Amino acid sequence: MMERLEKLKEKAEGTIFEEIVHSEVESYKKQKQKELKKANINNKWIDQADELFNLYLKICEEYKPQIEPFVSKVELEDRREEEGVVRFTVTNFKDSSLSLQCADLHTLDDYQKLENDQFVETLDEEKEEGGVEFYFNPGETVEEVKYSDIFNTGEPLTALTKIVEPLILELFRKTFDIESLIQIESDAE
């Protein structure tokens, strides 16, 4: 494309249209650079958050069988497409449920801001990065994790596990129901 733009400028050289063509070509280049920057940042946020979501799913799959003997139900739901979250939900024997949710650190509002040229101009494409947040209740983030915090360690699964494991322990602690477990054990005898 840049080659074609240069050819247009060459064609106009020496004509009365040279200034207009040159101006339009430069304006077109700037617009395309802005669009490319927007797309790159958007894709970077999404791709990096997805890599973190995938690690979270692996971690939950590892802990799921460990929790199952102590609760009524354990569910792992990948709702990225519909809701932008991955949920690890534990239901105790009193039908009380709690979810440790992992969501994109960038909100829909953040993604919509990328449509604003002035906003995009303030962003440094190299420094922008994706991430995720963990919470039990929406709006009450308990942990934020940026892509670089995990993937610059050399051991991303281990690094994220160190962050998520205490949250899974808290999830277990909040849903643990010893009375129901004792009752189930005595009913089984």
- Cα 149 vs. chain centroid, distance in angstroms? 13
Q: Give me the mean pLDDT over the 75-98 stretch.
A: 94
Convert the pLDDT of each residue in 23-66 to its tens digit.
998 999 888 999 999 999 999 999 999 999 999 999 999 999 99
pLDDT at 182: 84
Separation CA 131–CA 44 (nearest Å) = 10
pTM of the predicted model, to two decimals?
0.86
Q: Give me the mean pLDDT over the 107-114 stretch.
A: 91
With a cut of 90, say whether residue 108 has pLDDT above it. Answer: no
Separation CA 57–CA 114 (nearest Å) = 28
Tokens of 175: 């849903």
Residue-wise burial string across 105-117, b where 16 or more C-beta atoms lie within 10 A, e elsewhere: bbeeeeeeebeee
